[in-house]
A and B are shown apart, each in its own frame.
With several copies, the nearest count.
Chain A
Amino acid sequence: MIDEIVRRQIEDLHTRYIRAIDDDRLEHWPALFTEQCVYKIMTRENYDRGLPLAVMDCRSRGMLEDRVTGLRKINVFEPQRYLHQICGLSIDGIEDGAVRCRSNYLVVRTMAEGAMSIFSAGIYLDRIVLEPSGPRFEERIVIADSRRIDTLLVIPL
């Protein structure tokens, strides 16, 4: 039975995560993960069929940093923001030192000229380690309900 203090710490980690993305402070996003982390965005279609292809497939904090570099300096895309809604956090156990938990997410994307849309909805499957400096994501698997991506995906979910 995980106590409430840990739960609050994990909720705060989730809040820092959505802040970093929704405020466009993505440079702070990789630090929420451990050095040897996994961050994947998968569609429900591939995930359920056991197909390994991911939409975004990062296997180190460096690859997260490179995603920020790509977004800041490399790729061409229309200016856009995300707004997260998350709920239903459950803490589902401890596994070799990491807390397994999951939650529901919804991302509304807003384009510069004002168009809003439900860009993605699905679940977060997390492994979180409680370091002295606070909790970090050792693994976050994002499973998007829809197999479709509208236009492109450049900001992490």
Chain B
Amino acid sequence: MRQYTPGSRTPGDTIVGMKEPLLEWPAVGVTRSPYRVMSDPEIYAQEQQRIFRGPTWNYLCLEAEIPHPGTFRTAFIGETPVIVTRDKEGGIHAMVNRCAHKGAMLCVDPCGKRDTLVCPYHGWAYDLQGKLRGVPFQHGVAGKGGMPDGFDLTQHNLERVHVQSFYGLIFGTFSTTAEPLQTYLGPAMIDHISRVFHKPIEVLGYHHQVLHNNWKLYMENSRDPYHATILHTFYATFKLNRLTMDGGILVDHDGWHSINYSKGATLREGGGEYESGIRSVVEDVGLADPSLIHRKQEFDDGITVAIQSLFPSCVNQQIYNTLALRNVVPQGPLQCELHWTFFGYRDDTPELREMRLKQSNLIGPAGYVSIDDGVIGEYVQRGIAGTGIDASAVMEMGGHEVASTPGSRATEATLRGFWTGYRALMGL
């Protein structure tokens, strides 16, 4: 069931001889999204062009991952492989991981340290800014062959990705017309990033999880307050997260981005549906070792769970004392890979570090909370197979608007916001 080929259609496919329109969006707007956007290869190819190569800012990696001059890390923007480097002067650069000569991938290792980037195929050598510095046999051998006169190295640099770093998070864009990063994020998103990244962090490890669903199904899931306390039985059963706590959702940039937060200490017993026997609360179940969910209140705003979802494909999560960034890499219309970067603070006490690691059982591919998200997108992908042409998802919870509701999470405004951004970029 791993079936489509990343890269088998370049965006060009859809420019030359492109079918217009790719689809008709339902007239009611963002309270509906047609299921076809989750499976159509043509639409998928367009997303690569219009979203990932378009005026979006894409999370690449953390500055903490390339701390020293010469260190690099590879990443993806959509399907495009990218290298992020720190140069001798400490400057940060990003470029496509594709040799300017005949296209070979330059860096296979996920990270490392290099003085120059040398292509294995014919040895073209680039500096850490992606500038071509050397071409073997440029002048031939014994005066024969080599590059023609007027061959200009400066015309053969690596394709550049524009980068901006914010609180140690490095974002990149292919677009020269993208808004500045902070404008793209908006004030509420900026506040939340600064809240989490206000002091030096330390990476504690990675997870890589293959999901058999369209990348957008995961991004919807990440910003969906509605499913959190129903699908995730662990949340509701052990009262880590319920809609009957204080909490809310914040959106920014017309809803392209969102935050969904709750405050564990404010749980109101009763109320909501939790006592009315929905499956999300399991009776007569306890933890043999409850130390798993002992938590330390790290932030004075009282927020114990906060999921920030940045358009198009980045998630910044706090669940109790677990802190992680999640990045979704599309791998065809029916698959994506979720990259988790789990971190703490450099000044964590040993006890707090241990607490984070013990709580890591809550998240990741085997997390009590996130296990369910590993399959639910696949359930949707399989559920929508063979749908009729007009079938669409319904998102009316909380009305038809896209707006922050600091007092309520019984809403799908965050999803309507995602589709607002999607439609704007895709011209749908």
- With a CB–CB cut-off of 8 A, which chain A residues contact B285? 69, 73-74
- With a CB–CB cut-off of 8 A, which chain A residues contact B109? 79, 112
A136 vs B368: C-alpha distance when bound (angstroms): 26
Known: A57-B358, A149-B365. A77 touches B371 (CB 8 A): yes
**A5 interface hit (Cβ, 8 Å):** no
- With a CB–CB cut-off of 8 A, which chain B residues contact A76? 120, 231, 233, 371-372, 375-376
| B360 near A51: Cβ-Cβ < 8 Å | no
For A61-101 the 0/1 string (1 means CB < 8 A from B) is: 11101100110011111110000000000000000000000
| B289 near A70: Cβ-Cβ < 8 Å | no
For residues 336 through 376 of chain B, which have their beta carbon under 8 Å from a beta carbon of chain A? Answer: 337, 342, 353, 357-358, 360-361, 364-366, 368, 371-372, 374-376
Question: Which one of A41, A55, A60 contacts B289 once the chains associate, using CB atoms below 8 Å?
Answer: A60
Question: Which one of B203, B209, B292 contacts A66 once the chains associate, using CB atoms below 8 Å?
Answer: B292
Known: A54-B360, A63-B361, A74-B368. A149 touches B209 (CB 8 A): yes
Looking at B282, B285, B337, B366, which has the most chain A CB atoms within 10 Å of its CB?
Answer: B366
| B364 near A55: Cβ-Cβ < 8 Å | yes
- With a CB–CB cut-off of 8 A, which chain B residues contact A53? 204-207, 342, 357, 360, 364
Question: Which one of A41, A75, A78 contacts B368 once the chains associate, using CB atoms below 8 Å?
Answer: A75
**A25 interface hit (Cβ, 8 Å):** no
- With a CB–CB cut-off of 8 A, which chain A residues contact B287? 62, 66, 69
**A154 interface hit (Cβ, 8 Å):** yes
**A115 interface hit (Cβ, 8 Å):** yes
Question: Looking at chain B's contact residues, is the secondary structure mostly helix, strand, loop, or mixed?
Answer: mixed
Question: Which one of A59, A74, A114 contacts B233 once the chains associate, using CB atoms below 8 Å?
Answer: A74
Known: A53-B342, A53-B360, A62-B289. A149 touches B204 (CB 8 A): no
- With a CB–CB cut-off of 8 A, which chain B residues contact A77? 371-372, 374-375
**B424 interface hit (Cβ, 8 Å):** no
Taking the closest CB of chain A, its distance from the CB of B284, in whole angstroms, is 9
| B368 near A51: Cβ-Cβ < 8 Å | no
Taking the closest CB of chain A, its distance from the CB of B112, in whole angstroms, is 11
For residues 174 through 209 of chain B, which have their beta carbon under 8 Å from a beta carbon of chain A? Answer: 203-209
For residues 254 through 288 of chain B, which have their beta carbon under 8 Å from a beta carbon of chain A? Answer: 282, 285, 287-288
Question: Which one of B208, B234, B358, B376 contacts A70 once the chains associate, using CB atoms below 8 Å?
Answer: B234
For A114-142 the 0/1 string (1 means CB < 8 A from B) is: 11000000000000000000000000000
**A16 interface hit (Cβ, 8 Å):** no
- With a CB–CB cut-off of 8 A, which chain A residues contact B337? 148
| A75 near B208: Cβ-Cβ < 8 Å | no
| B210 near A150: Cβ-Cβ < 8 Å | yes
| B206 near A147: Cβ-Cβ < 8 Å | yes
For residues 33 through 50 of chain A, which have their beta carbon under 8 Å from a beta carbon of chain B? Answer: 41, 43, 45-46
Question: Which one of A51, A63, A150 contacts B204 once the chains associate, using CB atoms below 8 Å?
Answer: A51
Looking at A43, A51, A53, A150, which has the most chain B CB atoms within 10 Å of its CB?
Answer: A53
**A1 interface hit (Cβ, 8 Å):** no
Taking the closest CB of chain B, its distance from the CB of A32, in whole angstroms, is 16
A153 vs B376: C-alpha distance when bound (angstroms): 14
Write the residues of chain B forming the contact surface with A, with a CB cutoff of 8 angstroms. 1, 108-110, 120, 203-212, 231, 233-234, 237, 282, 285, 287-289, 292, 337, 342, 353, 357-358, 360-361, 364-366, 368, 371-372, 374-376, 378
19 contacts between A and B (CB under 8 A): A43-B208, A52-B204, A55-B366, A66-B289, A66-B292, A70-B371, A76-B375, A77-B372, A78-B375, A79-B109, A114-B208, A114-B210, A149-B209, A149-B366, A150-B210, A151-B212, A151-B374, A152-B366, A154-B371
Given contacts A51-B204, A55-B207, 14 further A-B contacts (CB under 8 A): A45-B208, A46-B205, A46-B206, A69-B288, A74-B234, A74-B282, A75-B372, A76-B120, A76-B375, A77-B375, A112-B110, A114-B210, A148-B208, A153-B365
